[in-house]
Amino acid sequence: MKKKYIIIIAILLFAAEHIYSQQDAQYTQYMYNTISVNPAYAGSRGVMSISGLHRSQWVGLDGAPRSQTLSMNTPVGESNRVGLGISIVNDEIGPTQETYFDIDFSYTIPTSDVGKLSFGLKAGGHLLDVDFQRLSKFDINDPNFENNIDNKFSPNIGIGFYYHTNRFYLGLSAPNLLETEHFDESATVGNDDSSTFVAKERINYYLITGHTFDLSDNVKFKPALLTKLVFGAPLQVDLSASFLLYEKVSLGAGYRWDAALSGMVGFQISDGLMVGFAYDRETTELGKAVFNDGSYEVLLRFELFKKYNRMLTPRFF
């Protein structure tokens, strides 16, 4: 039963004449993983920040999405106006695997005593692998599925803007501006003049924002929002609200519009080490399936401080 679902999804994905879909991986702990979608975030924390995240989606469903990210970003120079970052993302779903690798550059301009506006550029590429042998084909001799796709390279460029203070942030970005077509629409097989299937990467537009409020000396509250727009696909909206207790433990919940409910917990183990966990439960029909145990995320962030720039309080973003 489990395999039937992913087989149906995969066949629809690769047999359709034109496919326009959301290509970028999604994250519940997006407020700690902003560098993956906005290059202007690089260096904004004022210290070297290294983070890794693993997400297993729809656990129990064969071929369900799995994503891993590894990123590092840091300010450069005494003025902290220039930021540099490196990020690697591995995304797997069914018979496909994509590996993204990017270099991020940002430049920050102070706009007031507390506010800063950063401009960011992203450059890199990704490798696509498709193993058609993992599909259960209706026609085992179908020539469209004879040759696997191995390490097909596609370039990438992206832009972003990021305004922040110690308590507020707002970012706009498009991390992938090149709409790459992965398959040859004009290819023909034998005497059949019909075009083969085409998978095209659409531009993903992101808006992210959040604010931190002091409820007491030991309790902080932060609502946050992430919106992703892809033309030809439904608008994705993630809402979350978290509490930071005694600057050590964060507890929160989230809602992905018409998709999932989430719970989050984080631990600031030391000034430089933070670990976070998240769990999603689908609110769609897929969430009612007995083989779907929800989605899980684990996040680890490590930061290198110098004595003179140690943060007075852990930041929510």
Calculate mean pLDDT across residues 6-17. Answer: 40
Q: What single-letter DSSP state applies at residue 181? A: B
Q: Tell me: the pLDDT tens digits for 120-153?
A: 999 999 899 888 776 666 666 666 666 778 888 9
Map residue 112 onto helix, strand or coil: coil
Distance from CA of residue 97 to its chain's centroid? 15
Tokens of 141: 């001799």
Calculate mean pLDDT across residues 307-311. Answer: 52
Sorting pLDDT into bands at 50, 70 and 90, what band is 59? confident
> Look-up: residue for tokens 């297993």?
56
Q: Tell me: the pLDDT tens digits for 150-164?
A: 888 989 999 999 999
Sorting pLDDT into bands at 50, 70 and 90, what band is 167? very high
Tokens of 48: 């070297």
pLDDT of residue 188: 45
pLDDT of residue 15: 35
Calculate the average pLDDT of the chain: 82
Q: Is 17 or 53 the better-scoring residue by pLDDT?
A: 53
Question: What are the φ and ψ backbone dihedral angles of 95, each rounded to 5 degrees?
Answer: -85, 0
- Nearest C-alpha neighbor of 257 from the set 231, 285, 282: 282
Name 110's bridge partners. Answer: 116
* Identity of the amino acid at 3: K
What's the alpha-carbon Rg for the chain, to the nearest Å?
21
Strand ranges inside 165-259, DSSP E: 168-174, 198-201, 205-211, 213-214, 219-229, 236-245, 249-256
What does pTM read for this prediction? 0.82
Q: Tell me: the pLDDT tens digits for 288-301?
A: 666 678 899 999 99
Q: Is 12 or 91 the better-scoring residue by pLDDT?
A: 91
pLDDT over threshold 90, residue 172: yes
Calculate mean pLDDT across residues 233-261. Answer: 93
Q: Is 49:85 a contact under the CB 8 Å cutoff?
A: no
Cα-Cα-Cα-Cα dihedral of 161, 220, 50, 255, to 10°?
-70
pLDDT of residue 294: 86
Tokens of 237: 């909206």
